[in-house]
Amino acid sequence: MKKILKQFSDAVVKQNPILIQLLGMCSVLAISTTAMNAIGMGAAVTVVLIFSNVLISMLRKLIPNEIRIAAFIVIISGFVTAVQLIIKAFLPSLDKSLGVFIPLIVVNCIILARAEAFASKNRVLPSALDGLFMGIGYTVALLILSIVREFVGYGSFFGVKLFGNKFVGVGMLVSPPGAFILLGILIAAVNFVLVKSKQKKKSKAKEAEMPAETEKEVVTND
Amino acid sequence: MTKILLLMLGAILVENFIFSRFMGICPFMGVSEKPDTAIGMGFAVMFVMTLSSAATSLVYDYLLVRYELEFLSTIVFIVIIASLVQFIEMFLKKLVPSLYSALGIYLPLITTNCAVLGAALLNVEEGRGFVESVVFGFAAAVGFTLALVIFAGVRARMKHTNTPKSFQGSLIALIAAGLIAMAFAGFSGISL
């Protein structure tokens, strides 16, 4: 249980595919205009990640090493096509707003990276969990970005108008340039918090070891 | 003729693959550190994207539509692109070693470049014919290269600037990309 929790926190926080590893940026930048889009895309990516991880992990001893990347891509594209057809059949409005980015999940670096780095080396159950957790990490980061963009750009939250119809949002933030800038700022904020918390831990450890020494260091650094 | 020219202009400037369609961001961030590698990658992408647009357009029109297999297009396209990249790599290695040594290292990366698959899918979505598809693939790749080379120049300058700690590395690059995208947004005023 503890192991699973650690895997979860690693996938969602410490190795978040978007915020830390900077993978799969294309879809993040393109579809993070509304929160509903983010949830739809996040769910699609999570489903593909889980299934492709499971299948690749099952076949890991059968796939020859030389052609493994090609085999992974074919497996992934099979699941992506399935998800694409399901979305087209049951959620046509989501299909319209995500457009070409659903089939482009095939070339999303996150999925290939997890297949290569995790599923091809681990057993089925851990691989399935890895897919689920990485998918959650992706969805969370995507959701944060799109809630901010939707709120500032359209003045709404999950499609509900908060300030009435007269509100004019900052159009720049829902247009392409805003996507780049906001994602940069979001990741920088996460970096800032992570570095600060690390420093705190370090300085606490140092203080516990040798309180006099740290003071000296500060002086010389200045 | 004017139609083709407008298509090219649209793909290069107005709907630039990186700055307005968000395709191919991974290689865009990855290889834009130096202008030389940016140009190498750009030419490799141009080469592959033109050929893959031609191949996918032919396969779609004459195989998938004919046998009513359009729903398989994603799988078929990615397999075509992967094998085409592999084939180009072997072909260049044997016959044009000088070009291979220039583009070789970038070729394997192109399979997972979403711009290549994206161009193929967009061609199908817009119902473009063979010639239009090839022109669109080539022009989109030119737009990609243009963005990559401009951005590599900006990044080369940014190396010597004093950026805040949390923004260092690819994050300040993201923001710079946003500013360039703003410049490219100016082209969207051109109605084609």
Q: pLDDT, tens digit, for every residue of A26-70?
A: 888 888 888 888 999 999 999 999 999 999 999 988 988 888 888
Domain-embedded: residue B99: yes
Q: Tell whether B55 is covered by a domain.
A: yes
**Which residues does chain A have within 8 Å of residue B19's beta carbon, measured at their own beta carbons?**
176-177
Question: Is pLDDT above 60 for A24?
Answer: yes
In a domain, B157, yes or no: yes
> Containing domain of residue B50, as a range?
2-179
Q: What is the pTM of this model?
A: 0.84
Task: Tell me, yes or no, whether B101 lies in a domain.
Answer: yes
How would residue A213 be classed by pLDDT, with cut points 50, 70 and 90?
A: very low
Chosen for mutation from B18, B73, B74, B87 (greatest number of chain A CBs closer than 10 Å) is: B74
Residue B190 belongs to some domain of the structure = no
| Domains in chain B, number | 1
Residues A155-181: tens digit of each pLDDT: 888 877 777 777 777 777 888 888 899
- Backbone φ and ψ of B69, nearest 5°: -115, 30
Q: Do A107 and B112 touch (CB under 8 A)?
A: yes
| CB nearest to A176's CB, from B20, B74, B165 | B20
Does residue B184 sit within a domain?
A: no
| Residue A209's pLDDT band (cuts 50, 70, 90) | low
> Where in chain A are the domains?
2-197
Residue B185 forms part of a structural domain: no
Calculate the alpha carbon distances from B21 to A29, A109, B17, B125 in Å. Answer: 9, 17, 5, 15
| Cα B160 to Cα B145: distance, rounded to the nearest angstrom | 24
State whether B125 and A29 contact (CB < 8 Å): no
In Å, how far is B18's CA from the nearest CA of chain A? 9
Nearest to A112 among B24, B112, B174 (CB): B112
B:96-115 residues touching chain A, CB 8 A cutoff: 111-114
